[in-house]
Chains A and B, each alone.
Chain A
């Protein structure tokens, strides 16, 4: 087997398309998981167990079933209920939802790590509950959880190839397509492997600088 640089060159147009899709899925999936995870975490602290209980059950269910199954479900079952979304939108929602059930635990830990004295000081100052969350608790909690959230972003990156099964042409999808058309597997798969490492590395650098700025 020989390495064929011209195959690398031929793959490039498709690679850029795939890279773009991967990055889109990662960015939007992260965003959804960050926002939704926080919503879950806050709902799990609701005074009523009629809120906590269903949220607990749903998130437990999502966390403990495979992402692949969820993607298939969203892609094939939702249209039967009249909800039609593009494959990429379905994938982004699937990944974001799945990971939100992990980020919610990160947020929970971050919220619980805020010392009780902060709540007490807010009460002593008569700050309303919502304001206490906004300006005292969440800013401190989120600062603490940035590293953990970042690790999930990198995890999510490595799960984006699953979107291939619902016809999203992210990097792996493009590589497979190219391989099937040209009967060349080594080059496209190597290229995207390197791309995954580079993205992970850049993301971790970004994360570290963010951490440094927040910990200050």
Chain B
């Protein structure tokens, strides 16, 4: 049921931050999201699992305003995303940070500048302040000595940790993690996941995470959503989903990836 006051009451911690209502998305004849409904409360860590092509990444991209639903509404912090004027989308984007599978660092900038560019131009932070903050974040992700490096001089794992720092520099309320370790060599995965575990433990940031790393999902999640063919077929706390799933499809999927 929709709360009639949802748009007037400023949400406090623990209240609903993200809501998908009857969201449908098609690419050609392929329906990637099929009348999807779910919501995420502020401060929660939600993991989206399921076979590839089941629509998980599309959800994150929609929240980041990179793609639009064909039907239904997406609400972030009481504001409807589509349709919305660019100005309103910019307000919503302020609250959301995203880390991509392919890192997407800016190769023409130093690591430090990758992190400071948006805080300076978007948030209006002074250069000194932004750099001080960027160095703290680099320290957090274990790359304090790489501030002057170019992204191409770093390993994939290091690049992804810079991308995490870059997203955090905007102080988002929501962090979207889109298969952030899928493009990494196996030995580099742990370093990135450790950083994310750290963030999950020490901040009150809301996290939506698409991953195939089931141990990581079990560790950090408050809730796990199991997707199949554009629908959530099962959801619950990780203990329940991973040890005693209700659906055969979930069991099948988990036995295939674990």
Q: What 0/1 readout, one digit per residue, does chain A (132-162) give for beta carbons within 8 Å of chain B?
A: 0001100110010000000000000000000
CB contact under 8 A between A118 and B104, given known A125-B118, A127-B118, A135-B109: yes
Contact-residue size bin, chain A (C-beta under 8 Å from the other chain): 10 to 19
Quick one: which of B43-95 are within 8 Å of A by CB?
A: 64-66, 90, 93-94
Report which of A120, A125, A139 forms a contact with B166, defined as CB distance below 8 A: A125
Contact: B108 with A123, CB < 8 Å?
A: no
A contact residues around B64 at 8 Å (CB):
120, 123-124
A102 vs B167: C-alpha distance when bound (angstroms)? 39
CB contact under 8 A between A121 and B104, given known A131-B121, A135-B117: yes
Contact: B100 with A126, CB < 8 Å?
A: no
Closest to A138 in B: B108
Contact: A143 with B108, CB < 8 Å?
A: yes
Q: Does B192 make an interface contact (CB < 8 A)? A: no
Q: Does A13 make an interface contact (CB < 8 A)? A: no
Contact-residue size bin, chain B (C-beta under 8 Å from the other chain): 20 to 34
A115 vs B122: C-alpha distance when bound (angstroms)? 22
Q: Does A117 make an interface contact (CB < 8 A)? A: yes
Between-chain CB contacts (< 8 Å), 26 pairs: A117-B100, A117-B102, A120-B64, A120-B66, A120-B104, A121-B105, A123-B64, A124-B64, A124-B93, A124-B98, A125-B118, A125-B167, A126-B90, A126-B122, A127-B118, A128-B121, A128-B122, A135-B106, A135-B109, A135-B117, A136-B106, A136-B108, A140-B106, A140-B107, A140-B108, A143-B108
